[in-house]
C-alpha cells in the first residue's frame, strides 16, 4: 500500500499545504494510507484531515516515519546535515546551480533517499503539472507596490504578514496606495504570458496600474533593456535558467533611471543565472526589501515564499493541480514521478 506522509512545514511564515482534506479523502478512497502531521500553522485545521479519514501524527515526526513512506511537504527541510533515507516530495531548490543545493543532494546521496522535486514534476511536453506561480506573481506585485508606496513617504517597506484571503489584501493595498496622494506608478512585467506574470499583471490591474507586458519576443535579443529603467516598478516573473538574459545589470544602479522598485518574484539570487544581479540574498517577511542604492533609491523585493501571503487561495489552487499526479504515486516508475527521479539522479 502506498503511504503518503504530509509533514508540517518547519519554516517561519509558511501556512500553505499541497494536500487538502478533500484530496486526502480521494487518495484514501483509492486505497492509499495517509498520515498527516499535526500543525498549528497550516491554513487548514488538522481536524479536517482527521474527518477525511487520515491518521494524525505528531508535528515534525517525519524523520521517524516508516522507510517506505513518501514524505510530502512544500518548503525546504532544516539544513542540519542529517542523512535523508526517505523518498521526499518538496521544492528542493537544488538543480539550478543554487549554492546550498549541493548540501541537500549530498544528504540524499548519503541517506539513500530520493527527491521528487515539485518544480520538476512535468508532463511529456516538459510543462509543470502544478505550480504556485499565479499567486506568487499576485502577492509579489502587491508587496512591490507596498514598497513603492513606502518610498513615497520617504520610508522603506515594513513587515508583511499573511492575509485571510485576497479581498483583505486588495483592500489594504488600495488604501495604502491612495494614502500616498500621488498617481499610480508605472510598471513593467517580464514573463507576462506565464502563470507568474499573469498573477502579477492581474494584481496591477486590480490596483489601477496598467503594466507594460513583456515576454519572450521582447527579450529574445538578449539585452540590454533600457526600457526597464524607464518604469517605476519592474516585476521579474521569469525563472532563472541557462540562457536567461540579465535584465538589470549592476551598472543600472548608477544609471539615469526612473526605476525605484524591483520585484524579483522568481527570486533566484543564489543561482548562477540570476537575471537581477544587483542583489545576492532573498528578503524576508520582516524586511521585505533590500535597498541596493540610494539617491535615487532602488529597493529589491525578493521574498521566496510569496504565495504564503495568501495561503488559502494558493493552497486550494495548487492542491487541485497536483492531486491527479498524487493519485499515480503507486506507479513511481512511470509518468511524472519517473521523470522527476531521472532529473534527481542526473544531479545527485
**153-170 tens-digit pLDDT:** 999 999 999 999 999 999
Which pLDDT belongs to residue 96? 75
Which pLDDT belongs to residue 64? 98
**Cα distance between residue 89 and residue 75, in whole Å:** 10
Q: Which residues are catalytic?
A: 75, 93
Which pLDDT belongs to residue 202? 98
Which pLDDT belongs to residue 97? 67
Residues in the chain predicted with pLDDT less than 50, given as ranges, are none
Amino acid at each position: 500500500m502506498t503511504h503518503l506522509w504530509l509533514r508540517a512545514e518547519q519554516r517561519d511564515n509558511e501556512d500553505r499545504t499541497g494536500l487538502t482534506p478533500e484530496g486526502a479523502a480521494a487518495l484514501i478512497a483509492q486505497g492509499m494510507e495517509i498520515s498527516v502531521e499535526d500543525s498549528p500553522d497550516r491554513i487548514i485545521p488538522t481536524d479536517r484531515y482527521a474527518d477525511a479519514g487520515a491518521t494524525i501524527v505528531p508535528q515534525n515526526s517525519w524523520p521517524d516515519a516508516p522507510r517506505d513512506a513518501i514524505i510530502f511537504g512544500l518548503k525546504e527541510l532544516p539544513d542540519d546535515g542529517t542523512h535523508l533515507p526517505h523518498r521526499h516530495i518538496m521544492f528542493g531548490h537544488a538543480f539550478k546551480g543554487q549554492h546550498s543545493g549541493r548540501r541537500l543532494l549530498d544528504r540524499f546521496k548519503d541517506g539513500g533517499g530520493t527527491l521528487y522535486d515539485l518544480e520538476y514534476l512535468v508532463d511529456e511536453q516538459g510543462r509543470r503539472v502544478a505550480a504556485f506561480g499565479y499567486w506568487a506573481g499576485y502577492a509579489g506585485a502587491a508587496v512591490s507596490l507596498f514598497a513603492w508606496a513606502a518610498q513615497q513617504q520617504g520610508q522603506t517597506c515594513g513587515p508583511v504578514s499573511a492575509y485571510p484571503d485576497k479581498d483583505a489584501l486588495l483592500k489594504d493595498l488600495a488604501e495604502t496606495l491612495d494614502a500616498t496622494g500621488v498617481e499610480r506608478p508605472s510598471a513593467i512585467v517580464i514573463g507576462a504570458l506565464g502563470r507568474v506574470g499573469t498573477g502579477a499583471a492581474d494584481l496591477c490591474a486590480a490596483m489601477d496600474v496598467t503594466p507594460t507586458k513583456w515576454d519572450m519576443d521582447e527579450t529574445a535579443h538578449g539585452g540590454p533593456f533600457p526600457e526597464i529603467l524607464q518604469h517605476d516598478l519592474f516585476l521579474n516573473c521569469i525563472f532563472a535558467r541557462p540562457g536567461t538574459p540579465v535584465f538589470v545589470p549592476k551598472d543600472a544602479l548608477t544609471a539615469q533611471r526612473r526605476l525605484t522598485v524591483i520585484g524579483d518574484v522568481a527570486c533566484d539570487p543564489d543561482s548562477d543565472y540570476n537575471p537581477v544581479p544587483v542583489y545576492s540574498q532573498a528578503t524576508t517577511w520582516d524586511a521585505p526589501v533590500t535597498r541596493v542604492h540610494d539617491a535615487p533609491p532602488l529597493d529589491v523585493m525578493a521574498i521566496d515564499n510569496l504565495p504564503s501571503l495568501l495561503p488559502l487561495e494558493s493552497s486550494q489552487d495548487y492542491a487541485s493541480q497536483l492531486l491527479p499526479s498524487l493519485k499515480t504515486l503507486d506507479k513511481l516508475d512511470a509518468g511524472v514521478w519517473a521523470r522527476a527521479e531521472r532529473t534527481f539522479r542526473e544531479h545527485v
